[in-house]
Amino acid sequence: MKINVVKSVLDASDALADVNRRRMTEAGITCINVLSAPGSGKTTLLQKSLPMLPEGARTAVLVGDLQTTRDAERLEGVTAQVVQINTGRGCHLSPSQVAKGLDELDLSAIDYLIIENVGNMVCPAAFDLGEHLRAVLLSVPEGDDKVAKYPTLFQKADVILLTKIDLAELLEFNFDRVREDLAHVNTAAPVIRVSSKTGNGLEAWRDWLVAQRKG
Amino acid sequence: MKINVVKSVLDASDALADVNRRRMTEAGITCINVLSAPGSGKTTLLQKSLPMLPEGARTAVLVGDLQTTRDAERLEGVTAQVVQINTGRGCHLSPSQVAKGLDELDLSAIDYLIIENVGNMVCPAAFDLGEHLRAVLLSVPEGDDKVAKYPTLFQKADVILLTKIDLAELLEFNFDRVREDLAHVNTAAPVIRVSSKTGNGLEAWRDWLVAQRKG
């Protein structure tokens, strides 16, 4: 009985995600759901990389956060539209919250819609929000064992960003270990090493974004 | 209606947590629930600090993890008893999982029982497991904005550990910002700065543990 209830909730959730996706596709939007642990550098990555997109590329960001508007404030100036979704005690964004966020945006003026999910390696992975693509960040200070520990998150990634790589040598981060663990869960997603601090790898990430529009 | 269902689940959860707590208290155990984001250094902190406890102090660790037994393996040798609880897709430990974990332990041979929760700053904060005390870790690379963004986690902390402080200067971590944010959510918990790498602060954390037994 309990399992049935959970399943029906997920079905409704997935149905709503499909509606979100159709709505964005019809508006010509490419939507990317960005997931990671807290403090992996999602907001900083967007701050640094959105201005690197080709001239004329129109961006918007939906930011999920428990309480504050800090992330949304940090994104003002680098993107034309920002909507903050406060989830309160909710540990992930839901498709219904994203639907409400879409209501707040001028969808006709967006090429890339980035959804910055709540910082959490577990719950957001289970919820399709209607995105077209998923970007998953793993920051070097979190440790090179995280792919094996949170496989669900990495399984569904369309691109994986290893962030804060400027700290890799100091923290003796083992890139081979990540590669070996990924061989078991996801061999399709490209892995991009970036440092928002030094700028290393940001162009590769920008190029990946551009390629998704051409596809 | 929905709210009622959620409430009754939490009531059952809290009731079971109380049973766990009573069981441990009767056995003379001090139980500490350790919470943090993934990769904040929970396991490493235990590896380094448990051997620093006074001679004769008997420890055990319940380790929550989604999939692997890596953390449990890392703790062998520094504690007499380790039980691994795989939560699968579950984003936090529950009191019923802890109850099963207690069944696996020789409770008569434990002074300190450490529960290493699933790495997650959101969900574990909402679940009383029956612990006597909560330790919350925030690692420097996660950023100095996390107290404001995850207040619930820090609100219920009995001690707060700022970990990986060897990186504070390099990452321009603002300790004052953390202090100011904590002034709004938790002024009672001591804040201990530690680096498991350099050993800095580990004695203060050990002393805090020792003081809880005397209380």
According to the model, what pLDDT value does residue B90 have? 85
Q: Are B21 and B133 in contact (CB under 8 A)?
A: no
**What does DSSP say about strands B112-116 and B30-35: parallel, antiparallel, or unpaired?**
parallel
How far does the CA of residue A47 sit from the closest CA of chain B (Å)?
A: 16
According to the model, what pLDDT value does residue A2 have? 42
Q: Is A198 on the interface with B (CB under 8 A)?
A: no
Residue of chain A nearest B142, judged by CA positions: A39
Q: Are A105 and A81 in contact (CB under 8 A)?
A: yes
Alpha carbon distance A102, A121 (integer Å): 24
Residue of chain B nearest A170, judged by CA positions: B167
Alpha carbon distance A101, A214 (integer Å): 26
Q: How confident is the model at residue A1 (pLDDT cuts 50, 70, 90)?
A: very low
Q: What is the full per-residue pLDDT of chain B (215 aa) written as tens digits?
A: 344 444 555 678 898 999 999 999 999 999 999 999 999 999 999 999 999 999 999 999 999 988 888 888 999 899 999 999 988 888 999 999 999 999 999 999 999 999 999 999 999 999 999 999 999 999 999 999 999 999 999 999 999 999 999 999 999 999 999 999 999 999 999 999 999 999 999 999 999 999 999 75
* CB count in 10 Å sphere of residue A62: 27
Q: What ipTM was reported for this prediction?
A: 0.79
Q: Are B100 and B62 in contact (CB under 8 A)?
A: no
- Taking only residues 81 to 140 of chain B, the set having a beta carbon closer than 8 angstroms to any beta carbon of chain A reads 89-91, 118-123, 126, 139
**3-state DSSP: chain B helix, strand, coil percent, rounded to 5?**
45, 20, 35
pLDDT in tens, A145-180: 999 999 999 999 999 999 999 999 999 999 999 999
Residue of chain B nearest A141, judged by CA positions: B141
What end-to-end distance do the CA atoms of chain A give, in Å?
A: 43
A86 forms beta bridges with A65
According to the model, what pLDDT value does residue B160 have? 98
What integer is the mean pLDDT of A82-94?
A: 90
Alpha carbon distance B45, B197 (integer Å): 9
pLDDT in tens, A96-126: 999 999 999 999 999 999 999 999 999 999 9
According to the model, what pLDDT value does residue B1 have? 38
Substitution target in B122, B166, B169, B174 with the highest count of A β-carbons within 10 Å is B122
Candidates B152, B140, B135; CA nearest to B191 is B135
DSSP readout, B123-185? GGGG---S-SEEEEEEEGGG-TTHHHHSHHHHHT-SEEEEE-GGGTTTTT--HHHHHHHHHHH
pLDDT in tens, A35-49: 999 999 999 999 999
B59 forms beta bridges with B112
Q: Are A115 and A148 in contact (CB under 8 A)?
A: no
DSSP readout, B14-27? HHHHHHHHHHHHHT
What integer is the mean pLDDT of A18-24?
A: 96
**B6: enclosing H helix or E strand:** helix B2-26
* CB count in 10 Å sphere of residue A206: 19
Q: Is A66 on the interface with B (CB under 8 A)?
A: yes
Residue A204's alpha-carbon distances to A93, A198, A213, B113, B208, in angstroms, are 27, 14, 15, 47, 47
- Taking only residues 71 to 90 of chain A, the set having a beta carbon closer than 8 angstroms to any beta carbon of chain B reads 89-90
Average pLDDT, chain A: 93
Q: Is B148 on the interface with A (CB under 8 A)?
A: yes
**B113: enclosing H helix or E strand:** strand B112-116
Residue of chain A nearest B121, judged by CA positions: A120
Q: Are B160 and B154 in contact (CB under 8 A)?
A: yes
Substitution target in A47, A66, A118 with the highest count of B β-carbons within 10 Å is A66
Q: Are B60 and B111 in contact (CB under 8 A)?
A: no
Write out chain B residues lying below 8 Å of A68, CB-based.
145, 148-149
According to the model, what pLDDT value does residue B215 have? 57
Q: Is the dihedral of CA B197, B200, B203, B205 positive or negative?
A: negative
